[in-house]
Amino acid sequence: MDKLVAGNWKMNGGLASNRLLLDAFTPVSGVDMLVCVPYPYLSQAQKRTPSIALGAQDVSEFPAGAYTGEVSAAMLRDFDCTFVIVGHSERRALFHEDNATVARKAAAALAAGVTPIVCVGETLAERDAGRVMDVIGAQLSAVLEVLGVAAMARIVLAYEPVWAIGAGRSASAEQVAGVHGAIRAWLATRGVDAGTLRILYGGSVKPQNAAELFAIQHVDGALVGGASLVADDFMAICRAAAHR
């Protein structure tokens, strides 16, 4: 299975700078590439990146109706989005999304044919307290409860330790290996046929550490923030993931 390298632009960009960035992205064989752009730029990215998959950074849990400001999964499909990030730690912390809400968003995405990239991960305080898999287990349980075992196998997971996001320093190879292995085991214990379920790592992925991270067992790709805004860096990370 090829690795998936996803860029999460977060709330960055503009028409002019996006054009330069998108034009510099070229497909790399042996890796699946994805850009998750802010909603207003979906149309721009759709037209300019036909060979790279397109995604969004959030989605409504509701299918349609009187929900001012929300964007439905069906709307994302209209712009050829095949993926959507749900439950990013910034949404959990800043916009008060709880585990149940994240789970309903994942279900809404799947129902519309959009693959949710469900983010999980612990804070530094939770790690220091030895609660990493308690926290991640609760995040995963909520999703499993709503989706069921069969649909759970159709999502993408992203392990993003909150303390490594935008920190300049990723989690260590040992820490990443430990959590990715524990997530795989967690899924297997609950009967999820996770053979093709990809677990991405996110948190300060850069060209300098990408090869080391992609060499870790159960790391099936990356969710890249800051470095996805620099064309050369994103391309270098994609090349590091190719044919691994």
The catalytic site residues sit at 88, 160
Smallest distance, ligand 13P to C-beta of residue 1, A: 21
According to CB under 6 A, which one of 205, 213, 219, 240 is a site residue for ligand 13P? Answer: 205
Torsion on CA atoms 10, 12, 15, 18, rounded to nearest 10: -70
Footprint of ligand 13P on 77-136 (CB under 6 A):
88
According to CB under 6 A, which one of 103, 223, 240, 241 is a site residue for ligand 13P? Answer: 223
Nearer to ligand 13P, 28 or 227 (CB): 227
- Show the tokens assigned to 145: 């409860």
Q: Which stretch binds ligand 13P (CB under 6 A): 21-29, 91-99, 107-115, 220-228?
A: 220-228
Residue 38's nearest CA partner among 1, 73, 84 is 84
The number of residues making up the chain comes to 244
Rounded CA separation 162/88 (Å): 9
Nearer to ligand 13P, 12 or 74 (CB): 12
Q: Is 87 left (phi over 0), alpha (psi -120 to 50) or beta?
A: left
The amino acid at 165: I
Smallest distance, ligand 13P to C-beta of residue 32, A: 16
Nearer to ligand 13P, 192 or 222 (CB): 222
Q: Which stretch binds ligand 13P (CB under 6 A): 38-46, 124-132, 134-142, 223-231?
A: 223-231
According to CB under 6 A, which one of 55, 116, 161, 202 is a site residue for ligand 13P? Answer: 202
In the complex, which residue's CB is closest to ligand 13P?
Answer: 225
Strand, coil or helix: 156: strand
Cβ neighbours of residue 230 closer than 8 Å, sequence gap 6 or more: none
- Interface pattern 42-81 for ligand 13P (x via CB under 6 A): ----------------------------------------
Rounded CA separation 86/223 (Å): 12
Render 67-86 in DSSP notation, one character per residue: -TT---HHHHHHTTEEEEEE
DSSP-H helix ranges across the chain: 15-24, 42-48, 73-78, 89-94, 99-111, 124-128, 132-152, 173-189, 207-214, 231-241
- Interface pattern 157-196 for ligand 13P (x via CB under 6 A): ---x----xx------------------------------
According to CB under 6 A, which one of 224, 237, 238, 240 is a site residue for ligand 13P? Answer: 224
Q: Catalog residues that contact ligand 13P under the rule CB under 6 A.
A: 8, 88, 160, 165-166, 202-205, 223-227
